[in-house]
Amino acid sequence: DSGVTQTPKHLITATGQRVTLRCSPRSGDLSVYWYQQSLDQGLQFLIQYYNGEERAKGNILERFSAQQFPDLHSELNLSSLELGDSALYFCASSRTGGLQPQHFGDGTRLSIL
């Protein structure tokens, strides 16, 4: 058990809809990372938050946004969903910065119909 909790585990929705994925980091970790994993693109870094503030940005679409709350949990919001957004979305956390090992949740599997 990594200590990182992601909800929901599975999400099925339709094109054009909006969803919110939630992540609770491991106790004591200040950094949260979001990744998208699909078969053809591998594991893509989306965005990182550190203690409530955005720290680094990767290949995150404008339709996607994230935030980290004062209690350090994070949410990833995906809007105007397209078929190509179907993927596994992972949250990871680390004690401080990005050079440290990351602890991953078991992901949210998003299926767009």
Partner 1 sequence: SQQGEEDPQALSIQEGENATMNCSYKTSINNLQWYRQNSGRGLVHLILIRSNEREKHSGRLRVTLDTSKKSSSLLITASRAADTASYFCATAQNRDDKIIFGKGTRLHILP
Size of the chain in residues:
113
98 sits near partner 1 (criterion: CB under 8 A): yes
**Contact residue for partner 1 among 2, 77, 80, 111 (CB under 8 A):** 2
Question: Which amino acid belongs to residue 11?
Answer: L
Closer CB to partner 1, residue 17 or residue 96?
96
Q: How many residues interact with partner 1 (rule CB under 8 A)?
A: 24
Whole-angstrom distance, CA of residue 4 vs CA of residue 106: 8
- φ and ψ of 43, to 5 deg: -95, 110
Closest CA to 108 of 30, 49, 24: 24
25 sits near partner 1 (criterion: CB under 8 A): no
95 sits near partner 1 (criterion: CB under 8 A): no
Q: What is the DSSP letter of 98?
A: T
Residues 4 and 89: beta-carbon distance below 8 Å: no
**Contact residue for partner 1 among 32, 74, 107, 110 (CB under 8 A):** 107
64 sits near partner 1 (criterion: CB under 8 A): no
Closest CA to 19 of 84, 107, 78: 78
Question: Which of 13-21, 66-74, 78-86, 100-108 is the region at the interface with partner 1 (rule: CB under 8 A)?
Answer: 100-108
Name the site residues for partner 1 (rule: CB under 8 A): 2, 4, 33, 35, 42-43, 45, 48, 50, 55-56, 58, 90, 92, 97-99, 101-107
